[in-house]
Amino acid sequence: MEKSVIIIPSHLKAKRLPNKPLLDINGLPLILHVLKNSQKSDIKKVYVATPDDEISNIIIQNQGEVIKTGNHHTNGTDRIFEALNKIQNQYDIIINIQGDMPNINKNTINKLNEFMIKNSNIEVATIAGKIKIEDYNNRNVVKVRTSKPLDHGQFNSAIDFFRTSKKINTDIYHHIGIYAFRKSMLKKFVELKKSKNEISRSLEQMRLIDNNIDIKIGLTKYDPLSVDTEEDLNNIRKLLK
Domain ranges of the chain: 4-126+176-218
What confidence score (pLDDT) does residue 57 get?
98
| Exposed / middle / buried, residue 33 (Cβ in 10 Å: 0-12, 13-18, 19+) | buried
Closest CA to 113 of 3, 39, 33: 3
Contact call for residues 94 and 180 (beta carbons, < 8 A): yes
Contact call for residues 111 and 22 (beta carbons, < 8 A): no
Contact call for residues 203 and 161 (beta carbons, < 8 A): yes
**Over 90: is that where the pLDDT of 172 sits?**
yes
Assigned CATH for 4-126+176-218: 3.90.550.10
What confidence score (pLDDT) does residue 90 get?
86
Q: Coil, strand or helix: which one is 227?
A: coil
Query: How many residues belong to the chain?
Result: 241
Rounded (5°) CA angle 20-175-216: 130
Q: Using CA atoms, how far apart are residues 190 and 195, in angstroms rounded to an integer?
A: 12
E strand or H helix that includes residue 47:
strand 46-50
Condensed to tens digits (0 to 9), the pLDDT of residues 23-38 reads 999 999 999 999 999 9
Condensed to tens digits (0 to 9), the pLDDT of residues 39-97 reads 999 999 999 999 999 999 999 999 999 999 999 998 999 999 999 999 977 899 999 99
Per the DSSP assignment, residues forming a β-bridge with 4 are 93
Q: Using CA atoms, how far apart are residues 192 and 181, in angstroms rounded to an integer?
A: 15
Condensed to tens digits (0 to 9), the pLDDT of residues 196-223 reads 999 999 999 999 999 999 999 999 999 8
Rounded (5°) CA angle 71-46-15: 35
